[in-house]
């Protein structure tokens, strides 16, 4: 995506906040860390917009997001990350649920748990591709690696997930 | 051709040049092993893509305060809760009508505080779940 106009941080929050949150949540399994990450990214976006040169906004934003995420991980490396017992659909009650809903929630949990087991490089590539929806070129730009490496990481990540999920 | 390996994922993602995609598809038509692999990778891809998009808590959609010491507010927040819980516990033990009981206040408070500091995951498990 090549934008001519420069968005405000409020527009970034509105248009990308949810995606950034889900990126961090799927990488960590931790809602608090994901929320902090969005705030940190928005802070860096607000600082960075002053010097932003219109170009590939997605590449710029996801480079910032990834760097903020890695900084956050480094800051917290002494703190244990406890995978959150996920309830993606917000079901809190004890009333019986239709079987297909329960099956979906279980699948979500299994997929999230498998993602958290992946080596970071593979997990990041898979999440940027399948959760964030970036193209291979955009991932290469955000992560700073050749497209061929993106392709290899996504494939190896999926193969590993396949092993664990079947 | 040899089995295509990582081109199968790239094919699923529409990330191959047309000529290479056509070549892989021709191979798939004649190779049951690669078709199985392709379908399995497609199922994994679909499973990750079907993860629900969660809404961030409202507080996440404002920039972090400048100069904030990041990553510690949860610990302090829950340390404060631990102290409050300790105080409540003391109140219950020493409440009216209760027999005198020897309570080591320092030990009690330290135990609550230490639990939060040593086990910061408690903020993850029991922290505010806004937006969930």
Q: What is the pLDDT of residue A140?
A: 94
- Tell me if chain A has a CB within 8 Å of the CB of B58: no
What ipTM was reported for this prediction? 0.82
Predicted local confidence at residue A7, as pLDDT: 84
B118 inside domain:
yes
Nearest to A89 among B43, B52, B66 (CB): B52
Whether residue B86 is found in the same domain as residue B41: no
- Quick: pLDDT tens for B69-111: 554 444 444 444 445 455 444 444 444 444 444 444 444 444 4
**Is B63 part of any domain?**
no
Structure tokens of A74?
């480094």
Task: Test A40 with B71 for CB contact under 8 angstroms.
Answer: no
Average pLDDT in chain A: 85
Tell me, yes or no, whether B42 and B88 share the same domain: no
Q: How far is A106 from chain B (nearest CA, A)?
A: 11
The reply to whether B121 falls in a domain is yes
**Binary contact (A155, B59; C-beta < 8 A):** no
Q: Is B36 an 8 Å CB contact of chain A?
A: no
Domains of chain A listed by start with CATH number: 1-85 (1.10.1740.10), 94-166 (1.10.10.10)
Q: Establish if B95 touches chain A: CB-CB under 8 angstroms.
A: no
Range with lowest mean pLDDT among A33-42, A69-78, A116-125, A135-144: A69-78
How many other C-beta atoms can be found within 10 angstroms of the C-beta atom of residue B9? 29
Answer yes or no: do B74 and B122 share one domain.
yes
Residue ranges in chain A assigned as alpha helix (H): 9-28, 31-48, 57-75, 99-117, 120-127, 136-143, 147-165
Q: Could you tell me the two tokens for A108?
A: 């979500």
Domain that holds residue B44: 7-49
The answer on B35 and B74 residing in a single domain is no
Residue B103 resides in a domain:
yes
Question: Minimal Cα–Cα distance from A59 to chain B, Å?
Answer: 17
Distance CA A44, CA B13 (A): 31
Interaxial angle between packed helices A99-117 and B32-49, expressed in degrees from 0 to 180 and rounded to the nearest 10:
100
In order of B32, B44, B45, B57, the CA distances from A134 in angstroms are 30, 17, 14, 24
In a domain, B34, yes or no: yes
């Amino acid at each position: 995506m090549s934008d001519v106009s420069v968005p405000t941080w409020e527009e970034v929050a509105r248009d990308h906040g949810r995606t950034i949150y889900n990126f961090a949540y799927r990488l960590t399994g931790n809602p608090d860390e994901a929320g902090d990450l969005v705030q940190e990214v928005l802070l860096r976006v607000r600082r960075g917009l002053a010097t932003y040169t219109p170009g590939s906004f997605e590449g710029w934003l996801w480079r910032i997001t990834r760097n903020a995420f890695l900084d956050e991980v480094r800051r917290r490396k002494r703190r244990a990350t406890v995978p959150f017992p996920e309830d993606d659909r917000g079901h809190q009650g004890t009333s019986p649920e239709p079987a297909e809903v329960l099956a979906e929630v279980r699948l979500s949990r299994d997929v999230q748990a498998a993602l958290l087991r992946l080596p970071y490089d593979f997990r990041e590539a898979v999440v940027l591709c399948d959760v964030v929806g970036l193209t291979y070129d955009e991932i290469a730009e955000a992560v700073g690696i050749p497209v061929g490496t993106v392709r290899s990481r996504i494939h190896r990540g999926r193969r590993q997930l396949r092993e664990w999920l079947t | 051709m040899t089995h295509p390996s990582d081109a199968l994922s790239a094919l699923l993602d529409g990330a191959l040049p047309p000529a290479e995609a056509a070549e892989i598809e021709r191979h798939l038509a004649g190779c049951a092993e690669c078709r199985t692999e392709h379908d399995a990778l497609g199922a994994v891809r679909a499973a990750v893509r079907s993860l629900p998009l969660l809404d961030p808590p409202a507080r996440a959609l404002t920039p972090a305060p400048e100069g904030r010491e990041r990553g510690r507010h949860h610990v302090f927040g829950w340390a404060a809760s631990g102290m409050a819980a300790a105080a409540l516990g003391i109140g219950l033990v020493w409440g009216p009508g209760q027999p005198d009981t020897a309570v080591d206040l320092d030990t009690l408070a330290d135990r609550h505080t230490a639990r939060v500091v040593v086990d910061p995951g408690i903020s993850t498990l029991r922290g505010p779940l806004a937006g969930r």
